[in-house]
Structure 1
Amino acid sequence: MMREKNFKKENNPYEGQALWRKYVLKYFCLALLLLFSSLGFSNNIKGKIQDSKTRESIPFANVLVKNTTNGMMSDSDGNFNLNIEKFPCTIIIKFIGYKSQEVRVENKNQFLNVMLEEDVVALNEITVKPDNSYERSLLRKIIKNRKKNNPDNYQPLSYKDYTRTTVFLSNLRVKTSQSKTFRNSADAFVKSSDSTLMMPFYMDETISEHARKDKVDNSHITAQKSDGILSQVNPQIKTILHKKVTTEFNFYNNQIDILTRGFPSPISSTALMYYNIYLSDSIVSNKVKHYKFNFFPKSYKNITFKGHFWVEEGSWALTEIKASLPNSANLNFVKDLEVHINYEKLSDEKWFYKTQKINLKLTINKKEGKKRKKKTFDVQKLICYRDANTNNLAPFAEMPSSSYALLNTEASNNKIIAFRHEVAPLDTFEQSAYKGIKKLKENKFIKVADKFSAMTLNGYYNLGKLDLGPYFSFYRKNEIEGHRFTLPLRTSEKLFKNFMAGGYLGYGFKNKELAYGGNVKVMLPTKKRSILSANCHYDYFDLTKNKFVEFIRENPYQQGGGNIISSFTSKVPNPYLIRNRHIDISYEHQVNKSLGILVRPALNRYYSNYNLAFNQGNQSLSHFDTYNVMLDARLSFSQDYDEGFFSRIYYGNQKPVFHISTLMGQYKLPVKGGKKSGYYANVNLSMKSRFNMGPMFLKSMIEGGAVLGRVPYPLLQMPRGTRDIGSARYHFNLLHHSSFASDMYMSAHLCLNGGGVLFNKIPLIKKFNMREVVSFKAYYGKLLGNHDKVMKIPNMLQAPGKEPYMEMGFGVTNIFKCLRVEYVNRINKGAYFDKFSSSHGFRFRIEVSF
């Protein structure tokens, strides 16, 4: 500080100028030195390194001057700037995976754009596989012993089981229970762990006894407690849940038939076609080794399981299996499906079921919502097995006449409470289910929903002591009647349980005529189901209507073409209708679960019209009469069904259903000088089946028969066609309203659903869960008798040709989960077939399934 102070005080201008000149001179000389150094000695080469094929930059490549230690690396963009001491020189560029390249540089002004080629060394393909011979040998032993270990094959066998099924409607918001609709039923809802609400929908508890001896299975229900908010359809809900949705699982079978589909078992003879199976663990229990296998679907779009199972060494029997369905599987409405089965060893060293637990979530849309969870039906089923015995058994008592006599009785309830306490007490949700259901059944909205649900299943809407329906008969349209409206009514089960009287009144706005009919049915007080009925009508019917259609379309309210699209898309109204006055008395008797018989004597009068003339020789007849009796035997191999109010709803299985039918009678024609008559018979055999083949299934209906004797042409057999864009199940899609008349005939209707076996493998398409459809229909007939002598056959009906009529369709179903689109092509070519059929066309059908 002192020096600075003295300097300022002296204030010498010459000293300041000298100091400034010294600094300027110093920095000026340094700048000149750098300038000349740059001009005289700096020789930098710039360039860029790229891949010769892709033109992509190669970062961090080595750039060297040959025979020197001078070098650098390219930057992240492949650029380099290398200092060169003298020219000319050679630059070497190297990078791993590329061939080295040398570049001759003559002067410093060159820009090097270096392209490196990949250095590819082709090797022979090497496949590396794990040694799975050991686990494959174990799998072969499991599969080899399947038949021996299958509980379905144990002879003799007896056991009891307790089955509990609960259904909740889940993921409801709190404001649902607080809404005007459910305000008075709010305490019926149950709060779940995630603060959403659950509505109890259905609950059932059943105790059953089973026995098998000499290949004869017998079962009966000893106690039953059941309730649901839709009381009119509770029996149908129970059957659907127990027989179709959450059926008893048996993984020893090649496939498990649930949800109307076939799920391949992971221990089936074809398991390795559908699953990747790995040995994952082993333990020793009671000095016996047990193996654990994990299994996964080869394609997560297939309807296959994932999970694991344990087997015992020696017997190679299952001791436990857990399986779940991947959410991505091509299956509608099923969000989750989980199965857990435990087995226990019996005294004779055989393994039998101990418990089965099944959890299922059903929803319209499997994708989760962004804001809140989708509403689901949560189905839980528990089966507990007790007192299994495979020793010699005494003859098993016959099943009681009706299990409904035990439903919700005090004795049943006490037995269920005791059994439940022993094997599986109710949890909190289940304890509140019965009370909640009872409360909700009094809700007005639920009562209306109950009526509409019953109408959907059985065709009638309940009006108290009367039923309105069946609904399919409310409206139709044809050439003779034009727009036809009908009012059908019957007495309901609330008026009489074992008696029913009904009828209908219809009016056609074109012909301005009334049509009517009535029927009476009585349930006879017999041990086996027996019904005596009388029926009459005065109405128009399709000339080509199959006389045995009630045995083909058995479910009581599946009439017409079975396709709602056909009702609204008819291009040409059917002109070939015949008026019929009819009366009959029928007796139905169920011999056993597999065999039913029907006897029906009847009187008929058929009337001619301007489209269907009755000509005998030179005479024009106004009508003719028939007196006949129909006999039918139904063989179904223990097919499942639901008893409705004087009706049955059948559920398909893997076994065919046969009908052997005969119609025998006499016809009389009112000719001049008296009546001309003759005897005839129509013998008919039909077979319907559904066969599951893993993800695929085949539906078939085959029918054949013969008309014996000469008959008026309305009594001949005629295939039924359509003139609309609807795809008919048991009609011919390209035939016109009239085509052939035959007295010997055979027809086939086949439909193969691929279940997505092809579409599941196609990118983008597979996410839509569409399924392939192939259909085939054929008709072959002969007109052997000279029926023109009885009544002249109209020109629009002709004898079948030498070759069968055939049509084939290819299409896609499960579009938006409900639509089937099919292109149908007539296989037969030529002008002969063009007279009575179309050559091709698109057909549509509403089709909803799992």
Structure 2
Amino acid sequence: MNYHTFFKKLLLSLLFLVTTTTLFAQTIVSGVVTDANTKQPLSFVSVAFTGSTIGVSTNADGKFVLRSANPQTQLQVSFLGYKTATLAVTAGKEQVINVKLFPESRQLTEVTVKGQKRPKYTNRDNPAVELIRKVIENKDKNRPENYDYVEYKTYDKMQFSFLNVSDKLAQKKFFRKYKFMFDNRDSVTIPGKSLLPFYLNEKVSQTYYRKNPADKKVKVLGERGVNFGGAIDSDGIGQYFKHMYAEIDIYDANVLFLTNQWMSPISSLAPSFYKFFITDTVTTDDNAKLVELSFTPRNTTDRLFEGRMLITLDGNYAVQKAVLYANRNINLNYVKSMQVELDFDKNPDGRYHLSKSHTIADFAYNKESQKGFLGIRSLVYGNYLINNKQPDTTYTAVESEVGSDLVKHRSEEFWQQNRLDTLTRAESKVYKNIDSLTNMPAYKRTLDIASLLLFGYKSFGKFEVGPASAFYSFNPVEGFRLRAGGRTTPEFSTRIFFETYAAYGFKDERWKYFFSTTYSLNNKSIYKFPQHYIRASFQRDTKIPGLVLDFVREDNFLLSFKRGDNDKYLYNDIYRLDYVHEFRSKFSFKVGFNKWTQEPAGSLKFNTVQNGNVLSDRYLTTSEVSLNLRYAPNEQYYQGKMFRTPIINGYPIFNLSYTRGFKGFFGGEYNYHSLLGRVDKHFYLSFLGFLDVWGEAGHIFGKVPYPLLNIHRANQTYAYDINSFNLMNFLEFVSDDYQAIGLDQHFQGFFFNKIPLFKKLKWREVVSFKALYGSLRTENNPNLQQDLYKFPVTEEGAPITYSLGKTPYIEGSVGIENIFKFVRVDLVRRFNYLDHPNAPEWGVRMRIKFDF
């Protein structure tokens, strides 16, 4: 080897070594800042590398992480009222440095110092409050909607990870086959915590906004996410996660987060509920002056934020940055810590727009646990243009392309060009890892078991058996009842679906069964939005008149336990044909034909009295056509493979139903018209919780027997039902014209949280009220019409069914929810009609509900 070649290789080697060292010599410092005396963590402490512009503030737990691509040797930690600390840092290394700050005040030896009483916080002559009032006064002009035209691109990344999974778990025999999952850990993103990502969803969209006439179009350009396979619907999970981590607009009076409403620190009411402090002044690179304004709730048990904001002093009084935390004292389930960071960039006109939103929440069953899972949602806004007018068609409010094959199958090159943020090393492996996981037989078996336990169905690929909760039940008419059934899955077909069950009562010795065939007209699962299908079905089964439970099947084993007498049943033969069509505007309609034959069972009778003689009918047959209209603006769903559940929002839901009965058509015995309308509304009340309100009204035109009247929803089970009257007996009230209202107020612990010791239970107050007003025309009153079925009576001949008089039926309840974090118990009071047989004045009811 000649010397020239040797020195050339040596020079290249040294150059490679220097370059590699430079690339990987990143200085990373993490740690916790505490008060040296109290040992308590300090929030909002400034931590920076000395002589640089790189700095952060500690979070609600006093934690920080600081990174620099250049070598750093000193760390400066400063906080108002404390001595500034300067500490040595090892350049080019990842290290943990915990800092103790000492108060600036010094204690004199052998001298007793009596300080003045801490002045009471007040808004009067408070410069911080004067500043926040300026922000409130100017917030309308700082919103994007104040421009005539706005357009921007959004990159939305949602990630969930298991937290601090033990290394020993991966060594257990059952988990060894999943080693590739356990190896994909992230110990850098959150200092002191090990993340094991299991969920990732990315979306890129383009938004166009026009002020006048107001229109907004969001066009999804690309979306990708993990697919868990089996009974788990990844899109549905994503919808629910994004509902939990809703986009936060700090300029709104109230913001929705973790399914609850929080008052914004720049709400017009904020000075009455928050304390504000000027804690720092900042000068930006372009010499703009900013004021750091810190805030905390006046009452730390109220569901309010704490944190800080940077406010501009250029006359716009805009928010340039905001960091929001949830304090530890609020009544919030499962959330150990939460942080929202909002960054704003300056527009050419000097105002600011949101450029990044970063939300982190740490979840666990109890706040002491070091394990659980952690969710992160990052929204990055780019290509921001103001007053760039587009053609009118651009702003037409049409549904985005979510779900299309084009959007969901973008190339890797597309994501590299359009991703406005970066994936961590661990995140970049999630897609491949979950894909490998779903192809493992062991995972599929585990998923089958979980599906049976959670949803009650056991999958066999193209067919699934269930629900398990209905396999066994009992009632006074059927006695011991066994049932088995199932349904096809989208693996069988995305066009046609079958569902069936068979049941047998050992007391009445009768078979009951059901069969339906559904044909999808849009080649999508009938459980997916938007639905468009035709369904034909036949059902032969029992039913209690007036029992309509909104949360569970009637033959659920737990509902076999009922109070009072409940032996008045119907055997029903129901032939149905339905056409359902949902539109992307969230308007839908259903047109149906129904032939219904009712046969009285138990002690129920279809009796008429003519010329002093009692005549009994065995069957009542009706033939009906119906039209149901529904409008639920901005409705979203928690979507499963074989079910969907609406996600509650603040928009009203309207339902209107019309039914026409035909005499002589397919055996129908009566002509009549029925009209029913209902409105549901969820009201967010900020720190006072939320209120659910429903109202409905119905009217029947024509002469009909009592089984065809409005038999009002009664509940003799021990479960509390939101939409039923929980102390009304089955068949107790009927009407042909009625109006009803229900209110369910959840205070979310607003009062209990202010009671010492009691607040540690984390219980929450709930109050409800229901009223029903109705009437019965003479032509439908069997006491006045001999040819109508007589109202049911007891064995002694006492009436049990009534029409409502001038006084409405009223019941109310007070209750406690969040017992053990999921149990609600209500003490229910019935206020009138107490002279009716077996009419309870008081009752205790329970409901299971999981909530944050």
TM over 0.5: yes
SS in 1 for 2:248: coil
Letter in 2 for 1:688: D
Superposed displacement of residue 445, structure 1 = 5.0
Match of 1:496 in 2: 493
Q: Does 1:578 align with 2:578?
A: no
Q: For residues 20-59 of structure 1, give each alpha carbon's deviation from its aligned partner in whole angstroms, at most 9, with x where no partner exists.
A: xxxxxxxxxxxxxxxxxxxxxxxxxxxxxxxxxxxxxxxx
Superposed displacement of residue 376, structure 1 = 1.3
Letter in 2 for 1:304: L
Counterpart-to-counterpart distance in 2, 1:202 and 1:746:
47
Task: Say whether the 8 Å CA contact 2:834–2:840 is kept in structure 1.
Answer: no
Superposed displacement of residue 623, structure 1 = 0.9
Larger displacement relative to structure 2 (507-516 or 212-221):
212-221
Superposed displacement of residue 848, structure 1 = 1.6
Superposed displacement of residue 543, structure 1 = 0.9
Superposed displacement of residue 148, structure 1 = 2.8
Letter in 2 for 1:819: V
Counterpart-to-counterpart distance in 1, 2:148 and 2:606:
63
Superposed displacement of residue 745, structure 1 = 1.1
Task: Say whether the 8 Å CA contact 1:533–1:586 is kept in structure 2.
Answer: yes
Equivalences for residues 42-81 of structure 1 within 5 A: none
Provide TM-score, normalisation by structure 1: 0.78
Task: Say whether the 8 Å CA contact 2:274–2:295 is kept in structure 1.
Answer: yes
Match of 1:658 in 2: 654
Counterpart-to-counterpart distance in 1, 2:589 and 2:764:
39
Task: Say whether the 8 Å CA contact 2:185–2:196 is kept in structure 1.
Answer: no
Match of 1:626 in 2: 622
Identity of aligned residues (%): 25
Superposed displacement of residue 755, structure 1 = 0.9
Distance 1:659 1:611, change over 3 A: same
Q: Does 1:771 align with 2:768?
A: no
Distance 1:596 1:348, change over 3 A: farther
Distance 1:702 1:470, change over 3 A: farther
Q: Does 1:687 align with 2:679?
A: yes
Match of 1:809 in 2: 813
Q: Does 1:204 align with 2:204?
A: no
Superposed displacement of residue 542, structure 1 = 1.9
Match of 2:92 in 1: none
Match of 1:325 in 2: 326
Equivalences for residues 133-148 of structure 1 within 5 A: 133-148=126-141
Distance 1:575 1:389, change over 3 A: farther
Q: Does 1:342 align with 2:343?
A: yes
Task: Say whether the 8 Å CA contact 2:360–2:376 is kept in structure 1.
Answer: yes
Equivalences for residues 203-222 of structure 1 within 5 A: 203-213=200-210, 214-222=213-221
Counterpart-to-counterpart distance in 1, 2:452 and 2:316:
52
SS in 1 for 2:846: strand
Counterpart-to-counterpart distance in 1, 2:554 and 2:348:
56
Larger displacement relative to structure 2 (814-823 or 130-139):
130-139
Task: Say whether the 8 Å CA contact 1:544–1:718 is kept in structure 2.
Answer: yes
Distance 1:335 1:153, change over 3 A: farther
Distance 1:128 1:430, change over 3 A: closer
Match of 2:222 in 1: 223
Match of 1:161 in 2: 154
Letter in 1 for 2:250: F
SS in 2 for 1:359: strand
Higher gyration radius (CA): 1
Q: Does 1:461 align with 2:451?
A: no
Q: 1:384 aligns with which of 380, 387, 411?
A: 380
Letter in 2 for 1:164: K
Q: For residues 681-737 of structure 1, give each alpha carbon's deviation from its aligned partner in whole angstroms, at most 9, with x where no partner exists.
A: 111111112111113111122221111111121111122223343222222121122
Counterpart-to-counterpart distance in 1, 2:451 and 2:832:
44
Superposed displacement of residue 350, structure 1 = 4.1
Superposed displacement of residue 516, structure 1 = 0.6
Equivalences for residues 354-503 of structure 1 within 5 A: 354-368=355-369, 373=370, 375-391=371-387, 392-394=389-391, 395-396=393-394, 398-399=398-399, 403-406=403-406, 408-409=408-409, 411-420=410-419, 423-444=420-441, 446-451=443-448, 460-503=457-500
Superposed displacement of residue 254, structure 1 = 1.4
Distance 1:407 1:714, change over 3 A: same
Superposed displacement of residue 302, structure 1 = 2.4
Counterpart-to-counterpart distance in 2, 1:223 and 1:164:
12
Letter in 2 for 1:542: I
Q: Does 1:289 align with 2:282?
A: no
Q: For residues 393-438 of structure 1, give each alpha carbon's deviation from its aligned partner in whole angstroms, at most 9, with x where no partner exists.
A: 22227446652424652x3433112223xx3222222123223323
Match of 2:274 in 1: 275
Match of 2:354 in 1: 353
Counterpart-to-counterpart distance in 1, 2:621 and 2:292:
73
Equivalences for residues 532-547 of structure 1 within 5 A: 532-545=534-547
Superposed displacement of residue 385, structure 1 = 0.8
Task: Say whether the 8 Å CA contact 1:263–1:694 is kept in structure 2.
Answer: yes
Match of 2:776 in 1: 783
Match of 1:308 in 2: 308
SS in 2 for 1:608: strand
Q: For residues 472-514 of structure 1, give each alpha carbon's deviation from its aligned partner in whole angstroms, at most 9, with x where no partner exists.
A: 5433332211232221211111111222111111111211111
Provide TM-score, normalisation by structure 2: 0.77
SS in 1 for 2:777: coil
Letter in 1 for 2:686: G
Task: Say whether the 8 Å CA contact 2:312–2:320 is kept in structure 1.
Answer: yes
Distance 1:282 1:757, change over 3 A: same
Task: Say whether the 8 Å CA contact 2:740–2:771 is kept in structure 1.
Answer: yes
Q: Does 1:637 align with 2:601?
A: no
Q: 1:796 aligns with which of 800, 803, 814?
A: 800
Task: Say whether the 8 Å CA contact 2:473–2:557 is kept in structure 1.
Answer: no
Q: For residues 83-103 of structure 1, give each alpha carbon's deviation from its aligned partner in whole angstroms, at most 9, with x where no partner exists.
A: xxxxxxxxxxxxxxxxxxxxx
Q: For residues 320-346 of structure 1, give each alpha carbon's deviation from its aligned partner in whole angstroms, at most 9, with x where no partner exists.
A: 111111233210011111111111223
Letter in 2 for 1:609: A
Q: Does 1:246 align with 2:238?
A: no
Superposed displacement of residue 786, structure 1 = 1.9
Counterpart-to-counterpart distance in 1, 2:270 and 2:125:
15
Distance 1:785 1:130, change over 3 A: closer
SS in 1 for 2:196: strand
Match of 1:567 in 2: 559
Q: 1:531 aligns with which of 525, 533, 538?
A: 533
Distance 1:125 1:389, change over 3 A: closer
Distance 1:463 1:388, change over 3 A: same
Match of 2:101 in 1: none
Superposed displacement of residue 451, structure 1 = 3.7
Superposed displacement of residue 307, structure 1 = 0.9
* Count, aligned residues: 703
Q: 1:183 aligns with which of 176, 187, 192?
A: 176
Counterpart-to-counterpart distance in 2, 1:124 and 1:523:
74
Distance 1:311 1:455, change over 3 A: farther
Task: Say whether the 8 Å CA contact 2:522–2:533 is kept in structure 1.
Answer: no
Distance 1:128 1:587, change over 3 A: closer
Superposed displacement of residue 347, structure 1 = 3.5
Match of 1:704 in 2: 697
Residue segments in structure 2 that go unaligned for 5+ positions in a row = 1-115, 525-529, 792-798
Counterpart-to-counterpart distance in 2, 1:453 and 1:413:
33
Q: Does 1:151 align with 2:151?
A: no
Counterpart-to-counterpart distance in 1, 2:401 and 2:407:
13
Larger displacement relative to structure 2 (753-762 or 219-228):
219-228
